Amino acid sequence: MTPFVTGGAGFLLAVLWFDLMFDVQVLGRGGDLPEDVLGSISAYYRRVTTSARPMNRLVGAAMLATIASVCLQLARGDVPSWVAWASLALVVSPVLLAAVHTFPAAARLGTGADGTGRRSQVARSICRDHLLCLAAVSSVVAIQLAYGR
């Protein structure tokens, strides 16, 4: 099951990389973000959250498949149990964060409905979420490659 876990986590890392290419525009900037930065980030999230249907569903499917692969890995005893449990915690955490905060925030940012101050806050929170997710999913890949069979 290790190839499925690492493959799913690798796909999620690629998605995070694309998201972060836009998110990093918020780093090192205080106060309200310039309109061109907000426009760039908002346009990207409008495309990936709403305009890209049904392809945007692929990310959710990859998240679920990765969680299922870790659960199967745990049930089958394919790796030391601590590897599977750590991987499960490190995958489920960013998936829950994405479901309850990041995706809804990105969809909202994509509408451009809020004022500059609110959109700046939301863009920064999305970047923070993605950096946390990057650390967690990278850890899954590292653990699986180091200890998986």
Chain segment 108-140, per-residue pLDDT in tens:
999 989 999 999 999 999 999 999 999 999 999
79 band by pLDDT with thresholds 50, 70 and 90: very high
pLDDT at residue 35, as a whole number: 94
CA angle 106, 128, 99 (to 5 degrees): 45
Instruction: Kindly state the tokens that stand for 4.
Output: 């499925």
Residue with tokens 């049930």: 75
CB 69 within 8 A of CB 8: yes
pLDDT at residue 43, as a whole number: 95
Q: Is the pLDDT of residue 148 over 80?
A: no
pLDDT at residue 111, as a whole number: 92
Exposure b/e, 3-18, CB count within 10 A at least 16 = b: ebbbbbbbbbbebbee
Cis-peptide into 54, omega within 30 deg: yes
Q: Is the pLDDT of residue 22 over 90?
A: yes
How large is the average pLDDT for residues 69-76?
A: 95
With H, G, I as helix, E, B as strand and everything else as coil, classify residue 141: helix
Q: Is the pLDDT of residue 80 over 80?
A: yes
Q: What is the dihedral of CA 71, 88, 15, 51, to 10 degrees?
A: 70
